[in-house]
Chains A and B, each alone.
Chain A
């Protein structure tokens, strides 16, 4: 009787053997995962909730941030000149400011024109007529370049304040700044919470796998005795981890989608109030792929960790 090597008897090569082993591990691990529907659904749900909660919150924050960007895209700076400033001073300032790189446009509002408009719009014509002089100064409306954030606008306003001809600089962006800070805080909070929840998810998958590995203890021992490599012994469990991850990812996507649907009514109403176009709170495919891929990776990592520990404990026993 001669010793047989795989691949010698027919055209069955290393690559085919490897593929066949993976196929068997994939199918058998899936059969094991679905053989215990209760435990499997529990694992999927825990994983899904751990992933869906931070995802949905981030999604909401993203939508709100879009609104603030739309609104805060042009936080205008108004510069009121000294009352005694002449038109030539105002034009000189306009030219100077217009040349600054962070300024998109500087519009000068003529003080006579402003008074005329005020008189017409306010209905205080009689009162205005009693004034001995025009109380309104020349006003320069400075629009920063597109995409400037609040720190740029703050710098711009400080630069303007330093100018001798400027009496007062008004930035009407404080509420946006506050909102951005709140959103920033929210993001941090979600990131911290999300990290903790993802760690929890890994532990849950790891624990489920630990139990199923303990149940297969004999099998792993026998496989190793028969000359199965560690990779071979681990493979079904790595696939099981993958199935837990993918399943959890799919359930998470459904949860986030449902959550988005539930939120989209009030959110679109809010957007409407800010004259923003309504937008579906939808998972774009890229995000969906990231969620699935992330979940699968989590499941795989958890089982990699558990099997590694199990095999090294077996070796030291």
Chain B
């Protein structure tokens, strides 16, 4: 369970988040939406401890993240699978090596790594391209490599920041369906996106941010 308890993030010139309280139960899939500048990125940065709140508390499975400092930050981040808009792939490594990176970080054995990487690539439909370099892949394929990397270590949470930003509607739908598939096997998924037409095709909770606070939380039937 992810809990934001009256969380604020104040910058010198503006409040990015104001007294934001919200709960995402374990196993839920939610969309985080709002105009640019509404606080989506700030919320994700706070969740991943890339930034710290100026007020309030964020709790993960009941643990206060303000207590997670220094060396504890890296293991904390390993509980998340992260998908970026810009993919953030390493272009001097093959698809296989990119996907294997979280396992290398976590210290998996080569045998285990190979099994998991192939399973993750298979799930995103890129098993045949494991020896390719990211530069030779299309935008949609690169994003799928990013998703494979995010799920390969079987994280508790999957967090995506504008994962379909650069993709056409058909590919976007494909990517979202992938997230949904991971959610169906129990991963808590939070996807930040401003693509309302895409969101409307799924029946998941929508969290809308408006100038740093919750505008409405709508749960489709």
Contacts and interface: CB of A to CB of B under 8 A. Distances in A.
B169 interface: no
Contacts of B215: none
A1 B112 contact: no
Nearest to A232: B105
Contacts of A225: 48, 50, 77, 82, 88
A1 B111 contact: no
A219 B104 contact: no
Contact of A227 (B77, B109, B110): B77
A12 B74 contact: no
Interface stretch (A14-22, A204-212, A238-246, A268-276): A14-22
Contacts of B82: 225-226
A226 B107 contact: no
A316 interface: no
B185 A6 contact: no
A74 B109 CA distance: 69
Count class of interface residues, chain B: 20 to 34
Given A227-B77, A227-B102, A1 B185 contact: yes
B56 interface: no
B186 interface: yes
A34 B182 CA distance: 41
Contacts of B75: 227
A227 B105 contact: yes
B106 A3 contact: no
A229 B111 contact: no
Contacts of B186: 1
A222 interface: yes
Nearest to A6: B107
Contacts of B156: 3
A4 B119 CA distance: 15
Contacts of A12: 107-109, 111-112
B71 interface: yes
Nearest to A225: B82
Interface string B59-92: 0000000000001001111111010000010100
Contacts of A117: none
Contacts of B149: 226
Nearest to B84: A225
A188 B172 CA distance: 71
Contacts of A4: 153-154
Contacts of B187: 1
B101 interface: yes
Contact of A6 (B76, B80, B106): B106
A226 B108 CA distance: 14
Contacts of A1: 154, 182, 185-187
Given A227-B75, A227-B76, A229-B74, A21 B104 contact: yes
B101 A223 contact: yes
Contacts of A21: 104, 107
A18 B149 CA distance: 21
A239 to B, nearest CB: 15
Given A2-B154, A3-B156, A218-B90, A224 B107 contact: no
Contacts of B76: 227
B71 A17 contact: no
A36 to B, nearest CB: 13
B55 interface: no
A10 interface: yes
Given A3-B154, A218-B90, A229-B74, A20 B109 contact: yes
B155 interface: yes
B101 A226 contact: yes
B90 A219 contact: yes
Contact of A3 (B71, B79, B101, B107): B79
B110 A223 contact: no
Nearest to B101: A226
B109 A16 contact: yes
Contacts of B185: 1
A277 interface: no
A226 B105 contact: yes
Contacts of A223: 101, 105
Nearest to A215: B92
Interface string B145-161: 00001000111100000
19 contacts: A1-B154, A3-B154, A3-B155, A6-B107, A6-B112, A9-B108, A17-B108, A18-B107, A20-B110, A218-B90, A219-B90, A225-B82, A226-B82, A226-B101, A226-B102, A227-B75, A227-B76, A227-B77, A232-B74
Interface of B: 48, 50, 71, 74-80, 82, 88, 90, 101-102, 104-112, 149, 153-156, 182, 185-187
Top-9 shortest CB links A-B: A17-B107, A227-B78, A12-B109, A227-B77, A229-B74, A228-B105, A6-B107, A1-B185, A1-B186
